[in-house]
Amino acid sequence: MLDLRYVAQNFDEVVARLSRRGTVELGEFKRLFGERRELNVQIEKLRSESADVGALLSPGKQPVTREVRGTSYVQPLGDEQKNELRALSKELKEKSKDLEGKLKEIESQLDQILLTVPNLPHASVPEGRSSEQNVVVRVVGERPQFDFEPKPHWEVGESLGILDFERASKISGARFAVYKGLLARLERALASFMIDVHTSRGYTEVLPPFLVNRASMTGTGQLPKFEEDSFKTCGDPELFLVPTAEVPVTNLHRDEVLEGDQLPIKYCAFTPCFRREAGSYGKDTRGLIRQHQFQKVELVKFCRPEASYDEHEALTADAEEILKRLGLHYRAVSLSAGDLGFSAAKCYDLEVWLPAQQTFREISSCSNFEDFQARRANIRFKPSAKEKPQFVHTLNGSGLAVGRTVVAILENYQQKDGSVLIPEVLRPYMGVDAIRKA
């Protein structure tokens, strides 16, 4: 979330920057902020008074002198004075309790607003309201040529007998798939390959819980706004199935103060991801593109604020490395302000070429969240032993979405005879050079 005081002090600027995304939802922020300050001052005054009363009534080692309500009291006190002060203290407590109630109400309203306001887009983010205005920053590799009509991945998979949507829907419903034989192995091979590449490049592998609590979901920005997108366990304890490893991995350091020289911290994690895909009823109903459950290797970084944009480029390059090694044609696009995710200040999508649809599809999304998640999740670092802790910057990106990588391989490496070649780098993991009809 955004910093309360920053918003208050730079209100117009914040509104202007948010409006690049489209809607601005700051509601009654200004009025509430003013009331909050006023109440705070009043409450502190009352408390200070009652602390004086407390000191006078307490049998301390040294005699105490205090001025309360214009009268000065000197210990030792007479009974009458004591009774006076006791009565006053009660009154003060009641008053401040009353005001505290009001303050609480206002703070929760302010919180509500801040928790649902998205991050400010970075200056380098392209102008625009939708994906139409995303800017292609580079195109890598060559579009594969086919001397036959390339089939969509679901046809490739089903005709090889390694992909089964019908049985998946019997077991679970729409938007699920069953992989069999070498396709199941391909998923495993890809995950291992990706993790091996990333760990060799300085990422620490993490296997986190796949069920997380509400605080974790709030920390990374999924809640409170997008609850309908997630799967939730019923009752007690209330847990959410992770929509991405970003959630558990970023929350590894929630409420922690990291040492400055530990940074940057780089993690990678292979996990399943669960998404309701609410509101996407007509979209991508065929194939593996949009599933309720898929697997992903995620990269997560914690770094110093001044390093985050360099780290963002580097993280994107790390994700791209996988595509390059797999020989897949792709492009990188910088998302326009309006297409940016809720928590992101800047985001590159990597889009892989899918020949059957003659289109690029998102296979990775690499975001810099600046301190937006760190503030929600309270993740700080000490720049040096002497300095105060400050919020880290967090980043993450898919490296890559494994399910969609399977799609890309099935489509780009399909052969005229219906078989699928295995990219060179995966062969040690697969033990075969192609998937052929049994």
The binding site for RNA (CB under 7 A) comprises 5, 37, 40-41, 43-45, 47-48, 50-51, 53-55, 57-60, 62, 64, 85-86, 89-90, 93, 97, 236-237, 257, 385-386, 388-389
Nearer to RNA, 105 or 424 (CB): 105
For residue 130, give the nearest of 22, 273, 16 by alpha carbon: 22
Q: Give SS3 for 149.
A: coil
Nearer to RNA, 213 or 293 (CB): 213
Give 232's DSSP letter: B
Encode burial over 203-217: b for 16+ CB neighbours within 10 A, e otherwise.
Answer: beebebebbbebebb
Known catalytic membership, residue 365: yes
How far is the CA of 361 from the CAs of 45, 265, 350, 351, 352, in angstroms? 60, 29, 8, 5, 5
Shortest reach from residue 213's CB to RNA, in Å: 8
Nearer to RNA, 95 or 180 (CB): 95
Shortest reach from residue 73's CB to RNA, in Å: 12
DSSP 382-416: ESSSSSPPEEPEEEEEEEEEHHHHHHHHHHHTB-T
Shortest reach from residue 6's CB to RNA, in Å: 10
Shortest reach from residue 50's CB to RNA, in Å: 7
Known catalytic membership, residue 336: no
List the catalytic residue out of 365, 370, 375, 398.
365
Known catalytic membership, residue 404: yes
* Distant-in-sequence, close-in-space partners of 158: CB < 8 Å, separation ≥ 6: 164, 165
Known catalytic membership, residue 343: no
CA distance 247 to 241: 10
Known catalytic membership, residue 308: no
Q: Amino acid identity of 81?
A: Q
Nearer to RNA, 5 or 283 (CB): 5
Q: Give SS3 for 33.
A: helix
Nearer to RNA, 283 or 386 (CB): 386
List the catalytic residue out of 290, 304, 427, 436.
290
Q: Give SS3 for 3.
A: coil
Shortest reach from residue 122's CB to RNA, in Å: 22
List the catalytic residue out of 158, 227, 256, 362.
362
> Sign of dihedral through CA atoms 261, 264, 267, 273?
positive
Active-site residue list:
275, 290, 362, 365, 404
